[in-house]
Amino acid sequence: MNIYKTLYSCEHTEYDVVYTPDVVYAHRPTGDLTLQIVTPIGPDLPREEETFRNPVREKFARWGRPLAPLPKADVRFPLIVDCPGSGWAGADGHRHVPYMVDLARQGFCAASISYRGTFRDDVTFPAAVQDMREAIRYLRANAAAFRIDPDRVGVMGDSSGGNTAAFAAVVPDSDMRFNIGENLDQSAEVKCCCCVYGPVDMMNLVADRIAEGKHLRPEEAPFPEGVPFEALEIWQENYEKDPEAFMRQASPYDYLDKIDKPVPFLFVQGEEDAIIPMAQGLRLCDKLRQKGGRAEFMKIAGAGHGNGVWSRAMISDVIRFFKTYLG
């Protein structure tokens, strides 16, 4: 009998991860903001005392052993902070926990954020960016507890969360508009960004939709006759005061003009996305390279806006990107 294939045990290649839910990272008048954190080994947090005896747990605690050998107590892992998309309406991080598990199994501390939303919390741009940057500072301030290497931090996000992650990646600590809350002694700057089908160039978004035959919502037309529907999601009706200024202010593409050299980017886009045109990410990648940065564009053939994008192959390439730039 012939051996068909030889594989390596996951014990030698992956971590058995620990999920720590609903960690409060910021306090806002509208409510606390939380993180969903998945780590290769459990964080060093105060343990809650059990109020009842669990004989099943006691039995398996004697027999069980971790999937992979536990690393040394002082080991530190690179951090990836994630922002789920929501149309700027605000989101919790639970939806992306499965992806965070995939990242943590490969040796990353992964955290997905909740953040304030336009119509839920009556806030406008840059509220989500402020929240994400505070989450980064919180995790750096608590790096020892979560076994994070504070010098190796990256960000990612999808859809509106991709816009937020891109901003978090290009904004320097010196721009105080994006710095609120606590742990202001910590840096919020990062080393790389994965933007997944995020709208990044608001001024050209409608024109790109028309050029690629995307669906237009009522009153959308090439600027200045109309503005993308994202304007209302980001600004409520405030954008009507000066549409061009507001659109440029909410565009990572335009913000690049304010910085010298950007961090590396990976842009992921579904070829059949009905909302976000391919030109958005391609144009951003071109500008990143013109600014002296590194940029990769990954096209997912046959994928839409979310559906079909998060394949095993895509996640593997995202992991490859973060391993390249976070070590």
| Digit-coded pLDDT (tens) for 271-317 | 999 999 999 999 999 999 999 999 999 999 999 998 999 999 999 99
**Amino acid identity, residue 265?**
F
Residue 205 within a domain:
no
Give the residue-averaged pLDDT of 135-157: 97
Inside any domain, residue 136: yes
Compute the distance between CA of residue 218 and CA of residue 141 in angstroms, rounded to an integer.
Answer: 46
Q: By the 8 A CB rule, do 170 and 188 touch?
A: no
Task: Classify residue 237: in a domain, yes or no.
Answer: no
The structural domain count of the chain equals 1
Determine, yes or no, domain membership for 252. Answer: no
- The whole-number average pLDDT for the span 151-178 is 97
pLDDT band, very low/low/confident/very high, at 61 (cuts 50, 70, 90): very low
CB 164 within 8 A of CB 85: no
Residue 249 in any domain: the answer is no
Q: Is residue 240 in some structural domain?
A: no
Does some domain include residue 256?
no
Asked if 268 and 237 count as a contact pair (C-beta separation under 8 A), the reply is: no
DSSP-H helix ranges across 116-171: 118-121, 127-141, 143-146, 160-170
Strands 18-28 and 31-39: antiparallel
pLDDT mean over 94-104: 94
> Element (H or E) spanning 28, and its range?
strand 18-28
> Residue 147 domain-assigned?
yes
Band the pLDDT of 262: cuts 50, 70, 90. very high
Q: What is the per-residue pLDDT across 28-60, written as a single tens digit (0 to 9) for each?
A: 999 999 999 999 987 776 655 555 556 655 554
Q: Which domain holds residue 146?
A: 13-44+52-199+262-326
Strands (E), 84-206: 109-113, 148-158, 192-196
From residue 115, alpha-carbon distances to 48, 84, 137, 156, 187 in Å are 27, 9, 15, 14, 19
Contacts of 12 (CB under 8 A, 6+ apart): 68
